[in-house]
Amino acid sequence: MKYNELIEKARLKVQSLQPKSYKDKLSEAGSEGAFTAQSGDPESIGDRVNDFFDRAFRRKSGSGAELEPSHTGHKDIAAAAELHLDAEKPISDDGDAILADMNEYFDGRLSEQKERSLFSPRSSKPVSAKKLYSKKPSSATVRLDPDDPEFEELHGHRYFKTEAEIREKADARENFHKGVRIFWLVWSIIRIPIILAASVFIVYTLVSKVGNKIYQKYVMPVDANDATPIVVTIEPGSGASEIAKVLYEACGEDEQGLITNKAVFKVYVDFIGKSSRLQAGTYVLSKNMSIPDIVDTICRGMPPREVRKLQVTEGMTIEAMAEKFVADGIFSSPDRFLELCKTGEAFVQDHPFIKDIPDDETGERKYKLEGFLFPATYEVYVDATEETIIDKMLSRFDQIWGPIYTARAKAIGLSMYEVVTLASTVEKEARMKRDFGRVSAVFNNRMERNMMLESDATIEYVLKTGSLHLTEEQLATPSGYNTHINYGLPIGPVSNPGDGAISAVLYPDEEYLQDAFLYFCLKDPNTGELVFARTLEEHLANVAMYSPLW
């Protein structure tokens, strides 16, 4: 216990004498005049108490140090009662006995039993507020007497509590512990059901997520956008494992088949009980079919879907394609096809190169996808949609262009759009493959010398006359596609070029580049062969020679 706390307890002991106050005890002794001070000088009890406590402070701090007592309220204990103490008389008063004990304590002669008695707290009974110190130790709570005159003044101090307040605090403590006991009782009852429910929920969530991932990866279509018909043959007597192998290898060794996992296919048909209902036969399937679709088709044994070939020739425009598709019975109207080709927005996600096609500020270009619907022969279902056909043609262009063409275009300083635009013009001007590289060389030479291309094919894209024999008035038509009045390339492709024309632009004929050929004209209308010239004089001579054949 700290030294200062011992001092506080000693003071409180003197102040809380019962049943009579210390002051009254001293007053009775004083009336007899029986006591005198050892020094022979009168001394008040208050001064003696002061002296004892001052000595205690000096003992604590060291020799001769003067310390201010922490409290001065002990002077009120004796009030003004002056008593003379007789040194020969024994100490009989309780207060003097305590003071004697305190003397022994300060001198180090007090026994442990007396020390415990001297400093044991006596706060269990209500006491007068006047006999309480203004600052109580925090370890003790003193009960106030409601009849004390100073009750209102001291009530609310953290050291002084009434019986009702102490009882209320005890009740609150009991209620709290009772609530805790009830909580644990209820928890012990509902704990197991809650744990079981939580476990079921967690397992269900995990199984759902894992199952959904498996379903999306292995059961859904391999490629939802690929409707290319694939013919598969299932031999008689084939089981689920053999059929799964046929479907998995339907597109060849290096290509993704119609299903992504053979084991999943077998588990699926076994799970739904259709393994014995799979029928042999020849089927036309596609990668945009899910496993349930494929299983249903094979179980029904239905005849294959009707497939037709769709042929798009090099140099066709988008409008010419639309007319052909309607004529072939693919579409009932060209409107939807043409509308999708105007912006190409519906295909940007699957074909990011569309974002590299620059916008036309003039507004003259009708179709953003012009030049990028690759001409080829496609197999499609008779009920194929416009989106499916456009997507297949864009996918083919993406395959043809590839990283090699991308690197070559960068090496010669042309963008993909510029290559396709020039290739579309070459495709329209040359009919024989050997002339593609030569025409490309002529256009490159003219652009190097800041000459206009003067291609009749570019203005014909606007005029739509159906002939390359144009009048002077027609050749003067104001348009961004007219290379007779504008330098450089037209504002966009004038056809959809094939691989030959695109390759010719990327790799023009080296001999015609070095010999600086700048002109060409039609030599044979039947074969489409061209004749080339280095100078204008040579070109005019060629025109004079071959124009009667046109």
Ordered per-residue pLDDT tens for the chain, 550 residues = 444 555 555 555 555 543 344 344 444 444 333 333 333 344 444 455 555 555 444 433 344 433 333 333 333 333 323 333 333 344 344 445 655 666 666 556 767 666 555 554 444 444 444 444 444 444 445 555 555 555 555 555 544 555 566 677 778 888 888 888 898 888 888 888 888 888 888 887 777 777 677 767 777 888 888 888 888 888 888 888 899 898 988 887 777 888 888 888 888 888 888 888 888 888 888 888 888 888 888 888 766 567 888 999 999 999 999 999 999 888 999 999 999 999 999 999 999 999 999 999 899 999 999 999 999 999 888 888 999 999 999 999 999 999 999 999 999 999 999 999 999 999 999 999 999 999 999 999 999 999 999 999 999 999 988 776 788 899 999 999 999 999 999 999 999 999 999 999 999 999 999 999 999 999 998 898 999 999 999 999 999 999 888 7
Unique residue bearing structure tokens 């739904």: 272
Amino acid letter, 546? Y
Note the pTM of the prediction, 2 decimals. 0.51
- Other C-beta atoms within 10 Å of 54: how many? 14
Domain range list for the chain: 3-122, 230-305, 318-517
Contact at 8 Å (CB) between 250 and 240? Answer: no
User: CA 293 from chain center: how many Å?
Assistant: 35
Distance CA 273, CA 265 (A): 12
Crossing angle for the helix pair 94-107 and 45-61, nearest 10 degrees? 20
68 is written with which tokens?
């201010």
Unique residue bearing structure tokens 């009932």: 332
Residues 6+ apart with CB under 8 A from 328: 308, 310
User: CATH top-level class for 230-305?
Assistant: alpha beta
Amino acid letter, 387? E
Cis amide linkage into residue 19, ω under 30° from 0: yes
- What is residue 271's three-state secondary structure? helix
Distance CA 185, CA 183 (A): 5
Contact at 8 Å (CB) between 258 and 289? Answer: yes
